[in-house]
């Protein structure tokens, strides 16, 4: 049994808790929190500990899953915890990945721990598919489309507008752009040419909807450059139809082969996810298994999904995967 602990108990931590239940080679040691442990009630009644005491349990935890945010939590927590534990996080600030990698790598190597950063679906499974596709098709273009799915940042931006009670923003791939990419045409497309933004907004009684809509669609960085659709709905409809956190997207690579580039190939990977945090958690849990196995083999330091041979993700033996999945 691989003993997993969770640090940070938000949506992602809850997703990890429930994913562990689906994997019979794993058990949940418990949840660590900065809050008062008695105030945190877990979904499965897993024990809750104060993060201050975590080092006491260092021999009882095989892999620690860090479920904090990328902005301020993980840059501190992942390297700090890699002193004592094999760790995994879902750090997703793309521009800061090299720095985070180096920080974690140094500590993990010094302490003979194995760490994996940026697990999830983007970064994560989408990154893998970008790498595989572009390595196979040397003369190709790879496109990433996000959605249909909820953008937390854009939803928050709308919620900050005066008169708005609640809001959800869906990022949606533009069908015509998808079609052009799939045809092998290799168009040049910016992010805003690939996506539109659809917003569902609940406002206070008597609020000026026209003014709010204008404020949304002209908001710099978030909406001004995009095709943006705004719907005003009531609270009941919002709760009924917009309570989930779905997401997904597409990685599409189109390339040419043949002496005269006469043949076109299209590789497409897509995700359609009812729950973004639960799917991310499922990826993390599979990679936690890999971290555990790689540490047992003496493969220390910081890793990303690019460094992990696929066999390490499976609970099956190497013989079984060759026989059943190859």
Residues at the contact surface with a copy of itself, assessed by CB under 8 A: 15, 18-19, 21-23, 43-44, 94, 97-98, 101, 118, 123, 125, 127-132, 134-139, 182, 257-259, 262-275, 278-279, 281-283, 286, 289, 304-311, 313-315, 318-319, 321-323, 325-326
Q: Find the shortest distance in angstroms from Cβ 61 to a copy of itself.
A: 21
Beta 140-146 vs 149-150: how paired, if at all?
unpaired
Cα–Cα nearest to 152, from 165, 170, 166 = 170
Q: Find the shortest distance in angstroms from Cβ 285 to a copy of itself.
A: 8
Query: Is 67 or 157 the residue whose CB approaches a copy of itself more closely?
Result: 67
The CA distance from 220 to 216, in Å, is 9
**Backbone φ, ψ for residue 101 (5° rounding):** -55, -50
In the three-class reduction of DSSP (H, G, I as helix; E, B as strand; rest coil), residue 199 is classed as strand
Query: Is 99 or 234 the residue whose CB approaches a copy of itself more closely?
Result: 99
Q: Find the shortest distance in angstroms from Cβ 5 to a copy of itself.
A: 19
First to last CA, the chain: 26
Query: Is 17 or 62 the residue whose CB approaches a copy of itself more closely?
Result: 17
The CA distance from 122 to 279, in Å, is 11
Q: Find the shortest distance in angstroms from Cβ 130 to a copy of itself.
A: 5
Show the tokens assigned to 73: 């939590």
Query: Is 220 or 258 the residue whose CB approaches a copy of itself more closely?
Result: 258
Q: Find the shortest distance in angstroms from Cβ 261 to a copy of itself.
A: 9
Query: Is 152 or 257 the residue whose CB approaches a copy of itself more closely?
Result: 257
The CA distance from 253 to 162, in Å, is 42
The CA distance from 22 to 5, in Å, is 15
């Amino acid at each position: 049994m691989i003993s997993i602990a969770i640090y940070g108990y938000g949506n992602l931590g809850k997703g990890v808790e429930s994913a562990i239940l689906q994997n019979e080679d794993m058990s949940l040691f418990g949840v660590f929190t900065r809050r008062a442990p008695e105030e945190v009630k877990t979904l499965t009644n897993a024990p809750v500990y104060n993060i201050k005491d975590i080092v006491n349990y260092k021999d009882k935890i095989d892999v620690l899953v860090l479920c904090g945010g990328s902005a301020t939590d993980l840059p501190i927590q992942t390297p700090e915890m890699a002193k004592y534990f094999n760790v995994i996080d879902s750090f997703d600030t793309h521009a800061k990945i090299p720095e985070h990698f180096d920080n974690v790598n140094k500590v993990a190597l010094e302490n003979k721990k194995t760490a994996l950063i940026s697990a999830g679906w983007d970064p994560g499974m989408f990154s893998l598919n970008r790498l595989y596709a572009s390595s196979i098709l040397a003369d190709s273009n790879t496109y990433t489309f996000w959605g249909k799915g909820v953008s937390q940042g854009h939803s928050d931006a709308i919620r900050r507008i005066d008169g708005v009670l609640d809001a959800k923003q869906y990022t949606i791939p533009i069908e015509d752009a998808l079609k052009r990419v799939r045809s092998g045409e290799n168009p040049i497309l910016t992010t805003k040419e690939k996506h539109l933004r659809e917003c569902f907004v609940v406002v206070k009684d008597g609020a000026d909807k026209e003014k709010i809509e204008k404020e949304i669609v002209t908001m710099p960085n978030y909406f001004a450059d995009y095709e943006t659709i705004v719907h005003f709905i009531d609270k009941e409809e919002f709760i009924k139809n917009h309570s989930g956190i779905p997401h997904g997207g597409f990685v599409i690579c189109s390339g040419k082969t043949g002496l005269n580039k006469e043949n076109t190939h299209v590789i497409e990977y897509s995700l359609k996810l009812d729950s973004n945090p639960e799917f991310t958690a499922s990826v993390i849990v599979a990679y936690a298994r890999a971290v555990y196995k790689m540490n047992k083999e003496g493969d220390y330091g910081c890793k990303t999904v690019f460094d992990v041979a696929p066999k390490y993700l499976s609970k099956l033996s190497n013989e079984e995967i060759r026989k059943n999945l190859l």
